[in-house]
Structure 1
Amino acid sequence: MHGPFHRGGARKPMGEINVVPFIDVMLVLLVIFMITAPMLTQGVNVDLPQVTSEPIDPPEDSDPIIVSVDRDGQYYLSIGGDETEMPLEEVADRVIILLERKPGTPVMVRGDRNVSYGQVVTLMGTLQTAGVANVGLISEPPSGGE
Structure 2
Amino acid sequence: MHGPFNRMGRRKPMNEINVVPFIDVMLVLLVIFMITAPMLTQGVKVDLPQVTSEPIEDSEDRDPIVVSVDRDGQIFVSLSGDETAVDLDQLGERVRILLEREPGTRVLVRGDRNVAYGQIVTLMSTLQTSGVANVGLISEPPPGEA
TM range (shorter): 0.5 to 0.7
Q: What SS does structure 1 have at the residue aligned with 2:98?
A: helix
Could you tell me whether the CA contact under 8 Å between 1:52 and 1:142 is conserved in 2?
no
- Provide the C-alpha distance between the structure 1 equivalents of 2:99 and 2:86, rounded to a whole number of angstroms: 18
Normalised by the length of structure 2, the TM-score is 0.60
Q: Percent identity?
A: 71
Q: Root-mean-square deviation (CA), in Å?
A: 1.8
Are positions 1:63 and 2:52 aligned together? no
Q: Which residue of 2 aligns with 1:139?
A: 139
- Provide the C-alpha distance between the structure 1 equivalents of 2:57 and 2:128, rounded to a whole number of angstroms: 22
- Provide the C-alpha distance between the structure 2 equivalents of 1:122 and 1:111, rounded to a whole number of angstroms: 12
Number of aligned pairs? 95
Q: Which residue of 2 aligns with 1:24?
A: none
Are positions 1:127 and 2:127 aligned together? yes
- Provide the C-alpha distance between the structure 1 equivalents of 2:58 and 2:66, rounded to a whole number of angstroms: 12
Q: Which residue of 2 aligns with 1:91?
A: 91
Write out the 4+ residue segments of structure 1 that deviate beyond 3 Å after TM superposition. 51-54
- Provide the C-alpha distance between the structure 1 equivalents of 2:132 and 2:73, rounded to a whole number of angstroms: 21
Q: What SS does structure 2 have at the residue aligned with 1:108?
A: strand
Q: Which runs of 5+ in 2 are unaligned?
A: 1-50
- Provide the C-alpha distance between the structure 2 equivalents of 1:61 and 1:52, rounded to a whole number of angstroms: 22
